[in-house]
Structure 1
Amino acid sequence: MTPTTPFPRRTARTVDVGGVPVGGGHPVSLQSMTTTHTRDVAATLAQIRRLADAGCRIVRVAVPAPPDAAVLAEVVAGSPLPVVADIHFSSGLAVKALEAGVAKVRLNPGNMDDPDGLRRVLALAAERGVPIRFGVNSGSVRTVHGERAGHDLANLMVDVLLEWVAMARKEGFQDLVLSAKASDAPTTIFAYRRLAEATDLPLHLGITAAGPMDEARTRSGIVLGTLLAEGIGDTIRVSLTGDPVQEVLIGHEILAELGLVPRRGVRILSCPTCGRCQVDLVGLAAEVKRRTADILAPLTVAVMGCIVNGPGEAREADVGIAAAKGRGVLFRHGRPLCELAEEDLVDALVDEVRSLAEEAGG
């Protein structure tokens, strides 16, 4: 592997999620979950369309009660994305979700204790060719299996999952995806590493209860980045308390930084500033980011604040500026174009970015 080639991927079985292949060396798919009440079909579909526009490939919806299950067929019919039904506690709701035509069902082994009902779900899923994700999280598995607390948490999650896999295979069901999410990075990473060694099933990566934006970005970046760099993971979700569209944008950023998906949009490089900086670089970078947010072409833009590293960094970007007191130099593909007054730098840089984007068709 070289710095310009993708990280090698773990080989996993392939399952089909509503036309999106998962595992088997296929691209890692971004997943998110709606925050609407699923029974509010209009609001749910509006949010799904926003997620699709942001680059989401698979969407999960909560099905906590019969009124939500009752509208699933309408949600599935109107969704531009494959719909996954998120089921807890009730095998009956899982059956209704399958009858409604969902592309996948997520079941939580931490809160389902209905062997006969589970067998009915597996039989119907097999009949309809629908995969199932067994997804445990640290809170629910610890509640149900507390008597096994002699296990550390990561091993407990994995052991429960492997028991469910064995049970499903005994019933002849193979189209499985697994996930094991804790709320801290070390537990989650350890669990996924063990799952990756113990099974060839595709893995959905994520962290549970990740928190608001800043905390979620950090925790998810550590967990997803570590595992993906080790070749582990076939779908991902960045969980955060907030707009799920942000989950997709952050997830895409993680995948693109690792070279696992093509970059989409402008990537801003800016220095952290130091005592040599004599311009308002924070303000300059923020304005450039705001004014290029609508550009989809995969461009790297440097906004640098001094003459030490600035020219070199700006030369490595598609376009950039290296600013000094009251002035700065505009670069394009490593070539200095002109020297400008500080107040003209952002306008010139944004114009150059848009010119490059038009040339690239984005």
Structure 2
Amino acid sequence: MKTSDFDYDLPAELIAQEPASVRDGCRLLVMDRATGALQDRIFRDIVDYVRPGDVFVANETRVLPARLLGAKRGTEGAAEVFLLREAAGPEPRTNRVAFWEALVRPGKRLKPGSGAVVDFRDAAGAVALSAEVVDWAPHGQKGERIVRLSTTLPSLDEALHAVGHTPLPPYIHDYAGDEELYQTVYSRRESSAAAPTAGLHFTPQLIDRIQEAGAVWETVELEVGLDTFRVVDEDDPTEHAMHTEYYTVPERTVAAVRRAKESGGRVIAVGTTSVRSLESAWDPTADNGAGALVACDRAATSLYLLPGSAFHVVDALVTNFHVPRSTLMMLVSAFSTRENVMNAYAHAIAERYRMLSFGDAMFICSSGNGRAPF
């Protein structure tokens, strides 16, 4: 197995630069998990594949306004701080002070120990938030720093919403639309640097229809990091160091999955982040060694799913189209086969599907299930 096995030619004009005008009106490529057979549908048609007893599991995390554009104090030179995850610091967290791991730009002028501070101004021109570069992040792979955030406003949350921007993937350029369209309609706590994009296609009405068809809707939370967009640089994908993310699987979701399995229903993961959450929470020692899904509260995972990996929980997958040579291409290939996935991508490109985060979707499931068999 080589990383090049998960490469494909992605025409730049097919990379969606804005979301579909109607969330559930995008295209849906349905693929038989075993045979690779394909159907071209519209996303809202996913209801046709639902059967009573199924449980959909979605990642309810919300994207932080993590992109901060400001100026270096003392020089007024343009600077950017991109918040990745909250970190431990030498002083306690308060409403107005916290430490974060972050990417900074320009890196050469914002080095730890230099006293560098970046100020961020609100719409009225007042400094609402400041970031002091205090240290290198432990195990940082791209020169991440630890920054000390501080504000004179009542809270850091208020300050972030006064100056921050929703980060978009690097392949989306000059998007000037509604940033809320890069949030799922069911998102809750702000904890991610990127959206769980498979969920962008669902509307409240579509979720209602799924439940009316006899399925259950449950959630997990995985704090999505920027590494979700990274390509694998190593020729041998097994040598790639998988990033660590934090996930939560509540007891109610564990119970819903258990009921679905006992009744013959399927566990349908909405997005690869839901897959990683559920499969990370599988404990092979639980249930007297039979293995079971267990509840977790902000546990760490670096689960890396490659062809040959076992899936203990997930039976079907809603997913977007992914960047070539990425760990996500490897995950979906593991869920079906590399050949099926590459054939599906070739079909999507030939049929001019819209690709990546703002693009169209796939539903990978077993044939013959629901009211629209292959």
TM-score norm. by structure 2 comes to 0.25
Q: Which has the higher contact order (CA 8 A, sep 6+)?
A: 2
Instruction: Determine which structure has more spread, i.e. the larger CA radius of gyration.
Output: 1
Q: Normalising to structure 1: TM-score of the pair?
A: 0.26
Structure in which a larger fraction of residues adopt strand: 2
